[in-house]
Amino acid sequence: MVFLLSLQATDADAGVNGQVHYSLANFKNLFRITSNGSIYTAVKLNREVRDYYELIVEATDGAVDPRRSTLTLAIKVLDIDDNSPVFTNASYTVCVPENLPPGTVFLQLEAKDVDLGADVNYRIRTEEARQYFALNKHTGELSLRKSLDYESFSDAEATFTFLVEAFDSKGTMPPGLATITVRVKDMNDYSPVFSQKLYRGMVAPNAVKGTLITTVSAEDQDPPVRKKLLFMFHTQERGNLNPPKCPCSLISSNYEELHRGVTPTFVSCQPGLCCSGQRLHFTQNPRITRLEETSKITESNPVHALTPMPMP
């Protein structure tokens, strides 16, 4: 209860008729007046809710048929620093790609202080986060201080969670707090690497379509979600591949090409936009399926002369 002021009214009548009584005509829940005309607050006033009141004070005499007089009292509520800044959100969650350049602003923070003349400033409260992120103290812009590497996180979800605060540089109230969660989005920033530089295979000239020639394998340092590797030839299509998985078998599909000694030379492994190539070396394994030959032998042929023999 805070004392505001005292009022005094006079009545020229004598006795009971001249006795003055005070009362309030409005805002009785916020203010009170005593029998001697002193006015007090009945509750704590909040300037941020309402900063101006017109209080009607009524004075009556003690007659059976009382006479009355009213007075309008203007009350202005003054401001004090009694509020902390409040963020528009208690928590923020944002997804940031791991290849985002340092210095890039990726989140705009905002906090408001309803006190008059408040000067809201921002800062990162969690010390460990300051090496990765920067917060503009005047604008609330949150930016990247250094590059993030998704593969450097040991947990399944690559996230940063830290606190930021907003405070009135001219005030004394505690700062307002908000939680920031930054999810680092994995980008395909590694090329797959084959297990060896040269692969060799062997195939017969009359091999049927689907004959296994050789098996190639590759690994990708990106997380498992990106390890579904796709293998394909760089040159004109001369082969089919098994379903996209690793390791993958390379299968011949064109007998005529192999028969003529034309072999595909490169294979690529594509888990996205990155790719890698290795040379394949295929060797045809000659195989005689049938020999039909007619030869003539004269009685003068020397002993041990080479004579073609028909196949059974």
Q: What is the pLDDT of residues 118-158, one digit of tens each?
A: 999 999 999 999 999 999 999 999 999 998 888 787 776 78
Q: In the predicted model, is pLDDT for residue 272 greater than 50?
A: no
Maximum Cα–Cα distance across the chain: 176
Confidence band for 251, pLDDT divided at 50, 70 and 90:
very low
Does pLDDT of 205 surpass 80?
A: no
User: What pLDDT was estimated at residue 225?
Assistant: 52
pTM above 0.95, yes or no: no
Q: What is the pLDDT of residues 209-225, one digit of tens each?
A: 777 877 877 777 666 65
pLDDT score of 208: 80
* Residue 106, beta-bridge partner list: none
> Does residue 306 have a pLDDT over 80?
no
Q: What is the pLDDT of residue 150?
A: 83
Q: 241 falls in which pLDDT band (50, 70, 90)?
A: very low
Instruction: Please indicate whether residue 159 or residue 252 has the higher confidence score (pLDDT).
Output: 159
Q: What percent of the chain has pLDDT over 70?
A: 70
Residue 108 has pLDDT above 90, yes or no: yes
Whole-angstrom Cα distance, residue 275 to residue 23? 88
Report the C-alpha gap between 111 and 83 in whole angstroms.
12
**Residue that wins the pLDDT comparison between 244 and 52:** 52
Please determine, for residue 301, whether its predicted confidence score (pLDDT) is greater than 70: no
DSSP the chain: --EEEE------S-GGGG-EEEEESS-TTTEEE-TTSEEEESS---TTT--EEEEEEEEEESSSS--EEEEEEEEEPPP-S----EES-SEEEEEEETTPPTT-EEEE--EE--STT--EEEEE--GGGGGTEEE-TTT-EEEESS---GGG--SSS-EEEEEEEEEETT--SPPEEEEEEEEEEP------EES-SEEEEEE-TTPPTT-EEEEE-EE-SS-GGG----EEESSS--EEE-SS-SSEEEEE--HHHHHTT----EEEE-SSS--EEEEEEEEE--------------TTPPTT--------
Our CA angle for 206, 212, 217, nearest 5°, is 145
**pLDDT greater at residue 154 or residue 95:** 95
Residue 1 clears pLDDT 60, i.e. is over it: yes
- The pLDDT of residue 311 is above 70: no
pLDDT at 234: 58
Rounded CA-CA distance 92/94 in Å is 7
For residue 67, count other CB atoms closer than 10 A to its CB: 11
* pLDDT grade for 192, boundaries at 50, 70 and 90: confident
Decide which of 161 and 62 is more confident: 161
Residues 48-59 pLDDT 10s: 999 999 999 999
